[in-house]
A and B are shown apart, each in its own frame.
Chain A
Amino acid sequence: MAAAISIANLTKTYANGQHALKGVSLEIRPGEIFALLGPNGAGKTTLISIVCGIVRPTSGSVLVEGHDIRREFRAARECIGLVPQELAIEAFETVRAAAAFSRGLFGRAPDPACVERVLHDLSLWDRRDDILMTLSGGMKRRVMIAKALAHEPRILFLDEPTAGVDVELRRDLWELVRRLRDQGVTIILTTHYIDEAEELADRIGVVNHGELVVVDEKRALMKKLGKRQLTLTLQEPLAAVPVGLAEWRLALLGNGHELQFTFDAAQEQTGVGPLLRRLEQLGIGWRDLNTRESSLEDIFVSLVGRGARA
């Protein structure tokens, strides 16, 4: 199946000399939820803005459903809905008029039933005749999403959609994203909330310093880069890690009461069994143990940290 979005060697250098993107290549599959992670200033918004036609690329190409964003900008843009980071809406319009405006702008004939459906989906129907400036921040965020969905896009960009919203709205938005995916909409999501990516995404891309550090299936990424940690609570505290345990590179924590072993869960020989046997040989008793798998956040921090040190 052809890619929903195909990005090849995309670079962007701003007038001030900042290299926002350094040769990014990426394919977004139709119908997937793709999470783009990265620290502030990594290039996520620049990447989205180029695909949507707001920022001009310095070099490289972008195809949206096979249409070049410059040569066939109409065909490319009509597929896309964009919810930007900033809350930017016309203050004096009503909710319904704002959504109808966006639908028309994207070349779709007026369809009050469609606008009504979108407003219902976002719990905005009861506020349809309210002036936008009278709405709360969360409601304005819903309006922005309604505007992006009003022309029934096949690809939806959500740039930090849940930044600064309350828990209820966050859950509602997650639910909406899943519903849209079930309807076949491709969703590209940038977020600072790793748990959001972990909860929603099929695939994850990490951008740092304008480069795509990694792209993979969420599960594969967590399996490949994820670590597990075994923590042993000791019966007696240790002053230092005994020399006989050096090969496991253990960390001594909790004022000498805990030994922590980090290992690769994907390896056939994790080293856990030999470690427990060696502890017994050395007469080091333990009264509790627990294991923990590294979260996507741990992986993200390690990837971004690695990039920062490079």
Chain B
Amino acid sequence: MSLPAFNRHGVWAIYRFEMARFLRTLLQSVLTPVITTSLFVIVFGAAIGSRMAEVDGVSYGAFIVPGLIMLSLFTESIANASFGIHFPKFTGTIFEILAAPVAALEIVLGYVGAAATKSVLLGLIILATASFFVSFTILHPLWMLAFMALTAVTFSLFGFIVGIWAKNWEQMQFVPMLIVTPLTFLGGAFYSIDMLPPGWRTVALFNPVVYLISGFRWSFFGTSDVSVQVSLAMTAVFMLACIGVIAWIFRTGYRLKT
């Protein structure tokens, strides 16, 4: 018996294994982000939003929905993918992955595919939850799904890097808490960057999250801080950068093999 050029059974095994963990912890996997998002929508959208003017012709409550979904999508993608690869490193079961006839691409497909799937499912659940509190329409539903998938995959790739880089659980928390969350809050989740002073607007354009949220918001309301093409291009650049880093990790064995 010899394996074909693509080990699909290996990819499926990793993917199914990761999804099984998601299903085992379904309650906390889904309930926590749903409650958090509901609170955001109620506090910012209903309580504070009712006293605020419309943004780009959209009620503030509806305006923040795409940003909130993106916020969850970033954090969940990073958390899922980083945990997925860090846990076997922590427990020692990574030996089996390294000793198996699975190529780097197949390992990434399994882990990142599962992490992105979980994030997209969660994004859709949050979207459904938000619709109970505020009314909104989605002008470009297919683009909305495409942005969601693209963002989930990109940040799952980033999370995969974090999971391999991290030597312990503290480092695992470091990147999401000190880098991703601030970038997300400063990335226009709760406001349009047009509302910023001109100098800060320029600074904001260096934040990759701005492009993701802007593009995603466009799929809902047809308006955006930056053009959709630029949003897509910037997301693609970030994704390619992550792919490049992962390729380097597997080529050198960085923190995987001695």
Contacts and interface: CB of A to CB of B under 8 A. Distances in A.
Interface in A86-110: 86, 88-93, 97, 100-110
A106 B100 contact: yes
Contacts of A80: 99
B64 interface: no
Interface stretch (A50-58, A180-188, A212-220): A50-58
B101 A73 contact: yes
Interface string A63-82: 00000000001111110101
B1 interface: yes
B101 A78 contact: yes
Nearest to A108: B9
A43 interface: no
Interface in B9-68: 9-10, 12-14, 16-17, 20-21, 24
A55 B9 contact: no
Most chain A CB within a 10 A radius of its CB, from B9, B14, B16, B97: B9
Contact of A54 (B1, B3, B99): B99
Given A54-B257, A78-B2, A104-B10, A86 B92 contact: yes
Contacts of A14: 258
The majority secondary structure among interface residues of chain B is: helix
Given A54-B99, A78-B1, A89 B93 contact: yes
B95 A105 contact: no
B21 A104 contact: no
A92 B24 contact: yes
A78 B3 CA distance: 8
Given A105-B10, A109-B9, A88 B93 contact: yes
B252 to A, nearest CB: 9
Contacts of A53: 98-99
B227 interface: no
Nearest to B110: A105
B253 interface: yes
Contacts of A73: 101
B258 to A, nearest CB: 5
- Give the bracket for the number of chain A residues in contact with chain B: 35 or more
A73 to B, nearest CB: 7
Given A74-B101, A105-B10, A106-B10, A82 B257 contact: no
A15 interface: yes
B3 A82 contact: no
A18 to B, nearest CB: 10
Contacts of B258: 14-15, 55-56
B137 interface: no
B100 A77 contact: yes
B91 interface: yes
B96 interface: yes
B95 A97 contact: no
B102 A105 contact: yes
A149 to B, nearest CB: 13
A91 B257 contact: no
B168 interface: no
B7 interface: yes
A147 interface: yes
A161 interface: no
Contacts of A82: 95-96, 99
A53 B102 CA distance: 11
B93 A55 contact: no
A302 B254 CA distance: 40
A109 B102 CA distance: 14
A148 to B, nearest CB: 9
A190 to B, nearest CB: 15
A87 to B, nearest CB: 8
Nearest to A147: B96
A101 to B, nearest CB: 5
A74 B7 contact: yes
Nearest to A152: B1
A93 B17 CA distance: 9
28 contacts: A14-B258, A15-B258, A54-B95, A55-B257, A56-B253, A56-B257, A73-B101, A74-B101, A74-B103, A75-B101, A77-B100, A77-B101, A78-B2, A78-B3, A82-B96, A84-B95, A88-B91, A91-B91, A92-B24, A100-B13, A101-B13, A102-B96, A104-B9, A104-B12, A105-B96, A107-B3, A110-B9, A147-B96
Interface of A: 14-15, 52-56, 73-78, 80, 82, 84, 86, 88-93, 97, 100-110, 147
